[in-house]
Structure 1
Amino acid sequence: MNQVMNFDLYGASLADVDGRQYASLFVGQAVEDEKEESAKGIVIMKMSCDPEVYQSLNLSKYPASVEAHIRLKKAAGGKMGQHCVKVVGKQAPAAAASK
């Protein structure tokens, strides 16, 4: 079962380790409560994704608002992790595009 998340995509990376490819997305979220997160501005987070997701990215500029399809995956220490299986770029509203 996949979940859908909307966020700003700031970039992506692809690494080849011993013949196996690992891909990651770098997503950002504006800080809403500076005291709670001990941060200011934008918090950048790394999310794993399929190499095909990295290769399918054809966004015109970054950061870009995207809709990401996420599946839950077991991570280190038995924790729950999120893994992206598809990214769809969102169209900017016509009013914002004309500015």
Structure 2
Amino acid sequence: QMIGFLFGNSFLGASGNLGLFAVFISIYSICSLLMNFYLSIFKSKPIFLSFIFAVSQIILILFFHQSIGQIVRVNIGVLFLLTLMLLTFFPGKFLQRDRKMIQS
């Protein structure tokens, strides 16, 4: 009802995808935050993963694009995997740093 009030009845069909899109934007924000973090500490290897996942995102959308919901699900899946991969780099770097600090 709120979408109809704010934007008109022509946008009511898209209201079913708002929850999925919110999940996508949340994962995208976390992924972007992690990539910016790695850039700030001059670690560029994890950033190359984003290129690989962007290409896979394009390929998957070429095959799965019957609806907006399906496209958003593809984006969620790809970004979720990218976020997991970026998080695997995170603990190792800090554990190594802490060990070096303790040994010094």
TM norm structure 1: 0.28
Of Structure 1 and Structure 2, which has the larger fraction of its residues in strand?
A: 1
Of Structure 1 and Structure 2, which has the larger fraction of its residues in helix?
A: 2
Q: Which has the larger radius of gyration?
A: 2
